[in-house]
Structure 1
Amino acid sequence: MLIALRNLRRHFRRSLTSLLAIAFGVAAMLTASGFNEAMFDEFREATIRSQFGHIQITRPGFHDKGRSDPYAYLLPREVALDEALLPGGAALAPRLLVNGLASFGEVTLPFMAEGIDPAVDMVDDRSLRMVEGRRLAAGDERQLVLGRGLASQLEVAVGDAIVLLANTPEGHLGAAEAEVVGIFSSFSKEFDDAALLMPIGLARSLVQVEGAHAWLVFLETTGATNALLPSVRDALPAAEFEVQPWHALAEFYARASELFAQQLQLVKGIVVAIILLGIGNTMMMSVLERTGEIGTVMALGTRRAQVLRGFLLEGALLGLLGALIGVVVAFGLGGLLALAQVEMPPPPSFARSYDAALLLTPSMVLETVVIAAVATTLASLYPALRASRMVIVDAIRNGR
């Protein structure tokens, strides 16, 4: 290894150019991966907190047919789940779906609503970002919050009272008046154009039912979902309750993340190709310049396999050193983004912006470093083979 480092230092300018190229490629891969990871971490947590919970308990078949016949899939008012099963910091929250009409002044529009428990549900900015007013709070009874699009179409403001109309399971018409205390923006523009949230007590009174359509389990960390899932399923009769994790329900998130992952693989492929070409050229030039030296050391007894390993080691060291520089640059960029608080415009079909950030995980860094080291080693393979297969007499003669 010391000999390989010395050889790299002998050709300092060429080695430096190669190191900078590798560092740039590694920093580019980590920046793209970290940006993608941070964006989807925000998207994932917002999806979980606002829509599905980490684990969702419903009647069997609710997710397939519940929207068309919601009252056929009602759960009891209290779900038969021992909360002692849940880890510390977890919360169990009911939700009741309500569809109907919202009226203000001369304007009447359809809405999709959810009755929630404001004490434990929709309590942070990831689940619900308020653009005006406040979110629902424990103790609210006749208050609600509207999506920005629905509020704009109804032409209502915080403090206004709107009339809600909805059909009951018996086919009667339920009505209620509620005060608008906030206007929110979620990740989905389509959702914001038709959604409102109300305390579950108001929702039950409006449609004259006592139960809920779903019970959501919220955990402190998303990574604990799969570990808890079997315990929740074992605690509830499968014939009466369907228990699903968030990732089985979030189809849009899965499709979007898969698409971005494929794009990221393309970026990695381009960077690897650049490294292969650049390092391959550098190592070939090194072999040509050191032809006489190679012939001399082989004449003195150095085996061809040792020459091969020496050049491969030089390539691997270039990759490792360049990767370390790239990792430092990527973490520096991440720190600068955190300080600058750059606000990114909302992606297509999204309703709100988000802060640019890099989320660099240990596995991501390790993968990138390994890719760089393997790529540079592979790039050194042909020059190393050429060097190890030289005819000793011809190599010494060409070196003179």
Structure 2
Amino acid sequence: MLKPAVALNHFRTAWRNVVRQVSRSRAALIAIAFGVVAMILAAGFIDWNLRFGRDNTILSQLGHLQVMRPGFTEYGRADPYGYLLPEMKPAEKAALEGLPGYRVSAPRLLISGLASSGDTTLSFIGEGVDPAAESSLSAALRFPQGRNLQTGDHKAAIVGQGLALNLGVRVGDTLVLISNTGNGGISAVEAEVVGLFESITKAYDDAALRIPIDLARELMRTEGEHLRLVLLDKTENVPVADRQLRAALPSDRYEVVPWWQLADFYNKTEALFSKQVGFIYLVISIIIVLAITNTMTMMVMERISEIGTMMALGTRQRDIRIMFLLEGTILGGLGALIGIVAGVLLALLISAIGIPMPPGPIMSWPYEAGILLTADNILTAAGVALLTTVLASAYPAWKASRQEIVNALRARI
């Protein structure tokens, strides 16, 4: 192991060599910094889109947690009356409201049937919701026309933009909703359209509507709810809240499902994007390795006489290797630092301007993207650049240490 004084001397020598080789060092620093900037921007862009999709999914459809009857996700749609939630006991409500970061919870009653306006009748899926909680639970819904449900609404409805277009309804029109009841009969209610909404999922907007839960219960001629949605202050609190709520609620009465188990499209998109980021990192790492290997090799070739002189004066092969590895490490560290500063500034600038994006594969509206800066992405980019630079310096360092003293002293650049 090197003594501190010896290590410091090696570092000073390596630093002087990096500063002395201005043109070579500059080329290496540009390559490393460019790689770090590219990794920060690429990962940040993908993370921004994933965060955008995650938040819109949570705040328009799923909430952070859903409490339901066991087996509801598999069989509840086929037997909606058999999977109504039991009334929560005071201790169970207290456990739910005591979750870390708890904001609000609200019931949902799933409905389906026929929606009629004039001569047009179409099938629909829908939800009975608590209007008082919708401003929080459905904060990501867009309303091209009208508004969301509000406290005091009873015979009101918000309709997905695609379904409204197919029905030919606008804000202020009246819909007749028809559904089967639990005893096999038919029930109907009227609702005034107060808003047309767009969520992140166009297929949902083409078939869905929402009405106050009291009106939904009247339509289905039942009491109760299928789901209880829970919204937290931060998505990062979901794993802890999920474990805590599962432990507090009896498993024979309740099943707790976190949002990611219900967001199939998001999960597949995240897996795809993660592989893309990994491939981008691989390509950039190869570029850095090639650039640094070339730079360090040229440094060795230009300094053969110097290496021969050092070895003739008693410098060991190990010290030669350490010197060149330190030069690579210094280049990697400086390049990573420059890349971090440039990448962060570029990310902030790009996010301030915005990146116009067309509608995604499941969306109906365009949006402006940005670059999400996270400590993980920045440190990963810097770490990859530094590691690849050190690895790329290994061969030139070995080559420098294997020079024959006599031949090295004869060399002329």
TM class by smaller structure: over 0.9
- The answer for the alignment partner of 1:312 in structure 2 is 325
Q: Does 1:37 align with 2:37?
A: no
**Contact 1:76 1:210 (C-alpha < 8 Å) held by counterparts:** no
Aligned partner of 2:99 among 72, 86, 94 = 86
In the TM superposition, what are the counterparts of 1:107-186 in structure 2 within 5 Å?
107-121=120-134, 123=136, 127-186=140-199
**Contact 1:77 1:212 (C-alpha < 8 Å) held by counterparts:** no
* Bigger mean CA offset, 79-88 vs 235-244: 79-88
**Contact 2:63 2:137 (C-alpha < 8 Å) held by counterparts:** no
Aligned partner of 1:209 among 222, 227, 235 = 222
Q: Does 1:230 align with 2:243?
A: yes
SS at match of 2:132: coil
**CA distance in structure 2 between the aligned counterparts of 1:11 and 1:54, rounded to whole angstroms:** 56
1:122 Cα offset (Å): 5.1
1:126 Cα offset (Å): 5.0
Cα-Cα RMSD:
1.6
After superposition, what is the alpha-carbon deviation per residue over 1:329-353, rounded to whole angstroms, capped at 9, x for unaligned?
A: 2212222223213331122122333
**CA distance in structure 1 between the aligned counterparts of 2:355 and 2:282, rounded to whole angstroms:** 28
* Bigger mean CA offset, 280-289 vs 249-258: 249-258
**Contact 2:41 2:343 (C-alpha < 8 Å) held by counterparts:** yes
Residue identity matched to 1:384: A
**CA distance in structure 1 between the aligned counterparts of 2:136 and 2:204, rounded to whole angstroms:** 18
SS at match of 2:409: helix
Tell me: CA distance 1:194–1:84, structure 2 relative to 1, closer, same or farther (3 Å): closer
Aligned partner of 2:56 among 29, 46, 51 = 46
After superposition, what is the alpha-carbon deviation per residue over 1:207-255, rounded to whole angstroms, capped at 9, x for unaligned?
A: 1111111111110001111112222112211111111222222222111
Tell me: CA distance 1:124–1:115, structure 2 relative to 1, closer, same or farther (3 Å): closer
* Bigger mean CA offset, 10-19 vs 76-85: 76-85
- The answer for the alignment partner of 1:251 in structure 2 is 264
Residue identity matched to 1:209: T
1:51 Cα offset (Å): 2.5
**CA distance in structure 2 between the aligned counterparts of 1:121 and 1:20, rounded to whole angstroms:** 51
Aligned partner of 1:324 among 337, 342, 364 = 337
Kindly tell me the number of residue pairs found equivalent between the two proteins: 400
**Contact 1:338 1:357 (C-alpha < 8 Å) held by counterparts:** yes
Aligned partner of 2:403 among 390, 394, 399 = 390
**CA distance in structure 2 between the aligned counterparts of 1:123 and 1:175, rounded to whole angstroms:** 29
TM-score (norm 1): 0.96
1:355 Cα offset (Å): 2.1
1:33 Cα offset (Å): 0.4
SS at match of 2:251: coil
- The answer for the alignment partner of 1:13 in structure 2 is 23
- The answer for the alignment partner of 1:71 in structure 2 is 81
1:68 Cα offset (Å): 1.6
1:52 Cα offset (Å): 2.3
Aligned partner of 1:27 among 37, 46, 68 = 37
| Unaligned segments of structure 1, at least 5 residues | none
- The answer for the alignment partner of 2:65 in structure 1 is 55
**Contact 2:134 2:149 (C-alpha < 8 Å) held by counterparts:** no
Residue identity matched to 2:81: Y
**Contact 2:101 2:237 (C-alpha < 8 Å) held by counterparts:** no
1:124 Cα offset (Å): 6.9
**CA distance in structure 2 between the aligned counterparts of 1:178 and 1:78, rounded to whole angstroms:** 29
Residue identity matched to 1:66: G
**Contact 1:165 1:176 (C-alpha < 8 Å) held by counterparts:** yes
1:88 Cα offset (Å): 4.8
**CA distance in structure 1 between the aligned counterparts of 2:33 and 2:219, rounded to whole angstroms:** 62
**CA distance in structure 2 between the aligned counterparts of 1:247 and 1:124, rounded to whole angstroms:** 16
Residue identity matched to 1:354: Y
| Unaligned segments of structure 2, at least 5 residues | 1-10
Identity of aligned residues (%): 47
